[in-house]
Every structure is written in structure tokens, then in C-alpha cells.
Amino acid sequence: MQFLIRRPRRFLRAALPALLFLLPAAAACQTRVVINADLAKDTISRNIYGHFSEHLGRCIYGGYYVGEGSTKIPNKRGIRTDVVEALKKLRIPNLRWPGGCFADTYHWKDGIGPRAKRPAIVNSWWGGVTEDNSFGTHEFLDLCEQLGAEPYITGNVGSGTVQDFAQWVQYVNFDGVSPMSALRKENGREKPWNVRFWGVGNEAWGCGGNMTAEYYANVYRTFATFIPGAAGSGSLWRIASGAGSADFHWTEVLMRDIPQGLIEAIALHHYAVDWNHKGSAAEFTEAEYFETMRRAMQMEDLVQRHGTIMDMYDPKKRVALVVDEWGGWYDVEPGTNPGFLYQQNTMRDAMIAGVTLNIFNNHCDRVRMANLAQTVNVLQAVVLTEGERMIVTPTYHVMEMYTVHHDALLLPVSVQGGIYAVGEGSLPAISVSASRDRRGTTHISLVNIDAGRSQDVAVEMRGAAFSSVSGRVLASGRIQDHNTFDDPARVKPTEFRGARLDGTNLRVQLPPCSVVVLTLK
């Protein structure tokens, strides 16, 4: 009898490792993710991956534009070919210009015609430098054509007039006989550009005029009424100057007071920044990193709450939410002009980008356009230039890795577990979004914001099974790591081998502070 009892015990001890292996994969994982491939209904607009370029510091001049007389830097009609070729790999869907705060001091007629005759102005917002207007409407739209991006023009509402705005739209878009189309042809462009996206002012609550929401709603109604080609066509987007971060009153007033027939989208601006202590872009503590990520992840709550207000007035989601300024904001690099907002770009910024883009993807039913601030040499730039040299940043690599989500079908996800704690604070360690492209290939983007620990993630795929998984990872040894002109490839994507697939179950080992994009077939 004793032998019969002991034998099963010895058998169980020997078999225990095998039995544990047979338990559900999620049991031993820090994070469990469920992807509902059978519940997909919304499309992730490629316009979520837009960019923003303002007349600010070295974004335009020296960044994009060196002038046709430049002999040291290769260019096409004055636009840097190295920058264009780098940005084309991001498949930039749209580019916002000329601002930003600069937009509401910009008078478009100063930037057309022979460059020698264009009047100079002072850029009072950014550095107090002289703006010679050599880069204007034609140059910007040429840049967009070279990039294959749709233009997004922000019109001057703060110091401009309704007539100025309406004439600009006519100059750019009208194909018939009119004074503005004749002026366009006189300046060398026969056919119109047919620009679809028009911002009606910028930050009207601040640098765009310090208006109240109620006042701006009436100003908007006037401007929107006289924008030619908009009424009833559905082809032109009038984008209202929206709220700054958590100003929910602003969104409510605009949705309440602007008739839906006069508006196609409302903007939202949010930066991952502590305005009282921005800190260094490249030298920061883990506590500072944690605080930056906390502010970046507020985007989830902002999109949800602004979206809920919009749902009250627009349950069919006809009006889009356009987050046309987002990113990290730190102190400028030592020795640079404080008004030029030039900052380094580290793995911290890669985390901001990965998490934020996952949020936009997962809310693509309402968020249908967004613009990273900014593209070159300013804030969370994807490209940095220094004379003839150019490098790409960790943020660039995230944007490139996420191109797989452009116009793909969103696969709803849920995430449980996985905590990143610093001091007494804690945040979700893992961020996820997933999509299926038109070829039927599924892509999953996963971000581990934990600065020091890897994360074991179990992914359950419902409504789909796969036979292969591959991937790429962006990771580095320190959250402060970044690319420099002397070490331009220190941070770059590599092949990822930390995923194991078993039919509908996926096990992923995410390195600390990493962005991973998986391809499942």
C-alpha cells in the first residue's frame, strides 16, 4: 500500500515541469494581451502619421530648405534631397505648415512671387529673427509633392482677415478664371494644387488671439462660411483650432455652437512636458523619464474624454478629432538659441512615439489625423541636420516601423497586468495596438516603457491563427541613448527573435525600454 502511494508522488514530481508547460501561457506572464481579430471594423487612417513643420528655428531654413543657390548641399529647387529621401521612407501622409504660433502672424502674399521682391518680416514668436519669406506657398507645396504628402495649411485667423484666408484657398485650389488663379499662373503654377486640409487658426485660446471658446466659435463660423469650395462638397476639411490638453469646455463649446455643416474636424494639442521643469533632452533621471511617460500616457484619457463630448453632439462621428501637435518638449540644447527649440532625441522619445501612436490607432474611429511636432531640428524631430550632415532619430525609427499600420484594419486589443513602478508611482508597462493590412498580414506593435526590466507577454489571438512570426525591435542599453552626427547609427532597429508562436497563442519577451513590431502570417 505504501509503495502504491509513493510511486504516484515520485511520478508527479518528475512530471511537474512538463505539466507546468501545458498550463495556459498567460499564467506565468507579467502581461496578458487579447487581440480580437474577429471584431475588426475601423480603419487606421494613414493621416494619423502626419508631421508638422513651422517657421521655427532651423526647421525650414537649413532643415528643409537651403535655397537653389546652395552648391554644398544637394537640393531640388532649394529643398534638401537628403532630407526628402529620408522622410519618403516614412511615407508621410500629410504635412502641417506654416505653424503653430507663426501661422497667425503669417500673411501668405508675402511669400509668393519673385523672391527678391518678397518683404521681410520679424519672427516675433521664435527667436526674433528676420524671416525673408523665401520659403512660401509654392515652395511648401513643392516640398509636399516631392514627399508625396498631402499639404495641411493653417490659415491666419489671429491677425488676418476672412478675405485673406478665402483668397489663399482660391489661389491654391481654384481652376477657373479669377484674380487669384490668374495670380497663381503669373507666379508659375498653371494647375491648382487642390489642398484638402485647412486649419482655421492655431491655438486661438493662446498665441492665436487669447480668445474665449465662445468668441472663437463665432470667429470660426465666419471664416468657415467664406472658405471657397467647402460647403457641401465634403472634399475640403475645415479644422477648428481645438483645445489645449484637458480644456474640455473648449471642445464642448465648439461642438455645441458650430453647426456640423460648417466643420469637418476639431484639433487637440498635448505635449508630454512639465512646463515648470522641462529638463534636459538627453541627460535625465529615471524619475524624470517616468514623469514624461506619465504625461505622454495622459493622451489616452484626453482622447477618450474629448471624444465623449464629441459623441454627445456627433454620435455618428462625422467630425474628426485631429491631434495636430503632440510630442516631447524639453530644454533646448546648451549653446543654442532658446527660441529655436532645438533638442536631442533619445530612447525616451521613442517610447513617447510608440505609446502615443498606439493610442491613436486604438481610437481611430474618432482620431483620424495627427501631426508630430516637429519634423526637422525642432522639438521631437525625426531628422536633425548640421550643415551638410543629416541624421535620423529614434523617433524616426518608430514612425518607420509603424508604417505597417497605415490604412490597415484595426484589431481591437485589451491589455492586463504589467506594471512599471518608480517610487510611489506606477504606470502600465505595456502598450499595444494591432492591425491587418489589405494583403491579410497582421501586425502587432508592442511598447515596454519599463526602463530596467524586460516584460513577458502572452498574446491570445481570437478569430485568427498563424503559421509564422517575425519582427523588428528598437532598443538600446540606456533610456538616454541617442544618435549623434559622430555616431549616427547608435540607435536603430534590429531583427527581433523574442517571439514564439503556437497557432493562436503568442509569447513575447520584450526588452526594457523597447518598441517591437511583429508581422504574423
Residue numbers annotated as active site: 203, 325
Whether residue 98 contacts residue 154, with contact meaning beta carbons closer than 8 Å, is answered with yes
DSSP state of 439: T
Nearest to 49 by CA among 293, 306, 292, 407: 407
Check the CA dihedral 386-387-392-396 and report its sign. positive
User: Coil, strand or helix: which one is 284?
Assistant: coil
- N-to-C CA span, the chain: 54
Whether residue 290 contacts residue 422, with contact meaning beta carbons closer than 8 Å, is answered with yes
Phi-psi region of 67 (alpha: psi -120 to 50; beta: other; left: phi over 0): left
Cell numbers found for residue 137: 506657398
Whether residue 279 contacts residue 331, with contact meaning beta carbons closer than 8 Å, is answered with yes
Whether residue 241 contacts residue 202, with contact meaning beta carbons closer than 8 Å, is answered with yes
Check the CA dihedral 386-390-391-392 and report its sign. positive
Please state the separation of Cα 396 from the chain's center in Å.
11
Hey, which bits of 264-405 come out as E strands?
Answer: 265-272, 320-328, 367-373, 383-386, 389-392
Please state the separation of Cα 160 from the chain's center in Å.
28
Radius of gyration of the chain (CA): 25
**For cell 502641417, what's the residue?**
96
Largest alpha-carbon pair distance within the chain?
Answer: 107
CA 68, CA 209: separation in Å to the nearest integer? 36
Whether residue 198 contacts residue 236, with contact meaning beta carbons closer than 8 Å, is answered with yes
CA 15, CA 187: separation in Å to the nearest integer? 82
CA 418, CA 414: separation in Å to the nearest integer? 13
Q: Name the β-bridge partners of 427.
A: 420
Phi (first) and psi of residue 27, to 5 degrees: -60, -35
Q: What angle do CA 37, 42, 45 make, to 5 degrees?
A: 120
